[in-house]
């Protein structure tokens, strides 16, 4: 179905970008889980993250939408299927700015500060800047890996679920 195809491209985007970042998912499926169309399961998570790793995670979140846009075009590629990804990407960008002081200015913003319109506006601009920059990088990386995404999406539509070895094999053959 059209919906399954869209979910397959979306999840293939996540899987390809994660793999390109040296972070191959344990498995990826297009079978629904709760309110999620598909699911990409990351096996590892560490307690200390660098800024580079946090930005890579943002790109992995945005990769589903980028893959949909690549496949369906700018107009039809923007669907509601990635609201959770966007929320997660935004949370990480906000944490980079507010919680970890990683955005050039070494200060951490308290909840109290967030009520101040000056801070709120500044943080909003920084967060949007991070997300826009990372979306651009994500789109480039997704475009370079177009063949791998197509092959992963095809394999997902055929088998419903792929494991780490399946993903690695496709990336070895078709990844940029």
The residues annotated as belonging to the active site are 11
Please tell me the distance from the alpha carbon of residue 134 to that of residue 132, in angstroms, as a whole number: 5
Greatest Cα pair distance, the chain, in angstroms, is 52
Q: Number of C-alpha atoms within 13 angstroms, CB side, residue 141? A: 23
* Contacts of residue 54, Cβ cutoff 8 Å, sequence gap at least 6: 92, 95, 96, 100, 102
The three-class DSSP label of residue 23 is: coil
Measured in degrees and rounded to the nearest 5, phi and psi for residue 141 equal: -65, -40
* Contacts of residue 111, Cβ cutoff 8 Å, sequence gap at least 6: none
DSSP secondary structure letter of residue 123:
H
């Amino acid at each position: 179905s059209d919906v399954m195809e869209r979910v397959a491209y979306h999840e293939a985007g996540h899987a390809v970008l994660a793999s390109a970042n040296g972070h191959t998912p344990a498995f990826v499926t297009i079978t629904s889980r709760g309110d999620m169309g598909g699911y990409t399961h990351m096996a590892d998570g560490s307690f200390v993250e660098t800024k580079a790793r946090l930005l890579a995670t943002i790109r992995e979140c945005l990769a589903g939408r980028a893959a949909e846009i690549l496949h369906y075009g700018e107009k039809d590629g923007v669907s509601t299927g990635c609201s959770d990804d966007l929320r997660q990407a935004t949370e990480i960008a906000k944490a980079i700015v507010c919680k970890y002081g990683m955005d050039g200015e070494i200060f951490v913003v308290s909840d109290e500060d967030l009520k101040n319109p000056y801070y709120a506006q500044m943080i909003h601009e920084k967060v949007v800047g991070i997300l826009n920059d990372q979306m651009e990088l994500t789109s480039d990386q997704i475009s370079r890996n177009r063949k791998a995404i197509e092959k992963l999406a095809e394999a997902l539509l055929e088998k419903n679920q792929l494991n780490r070895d399946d993903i690695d094999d496709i990336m070895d053959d078709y990844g940029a």
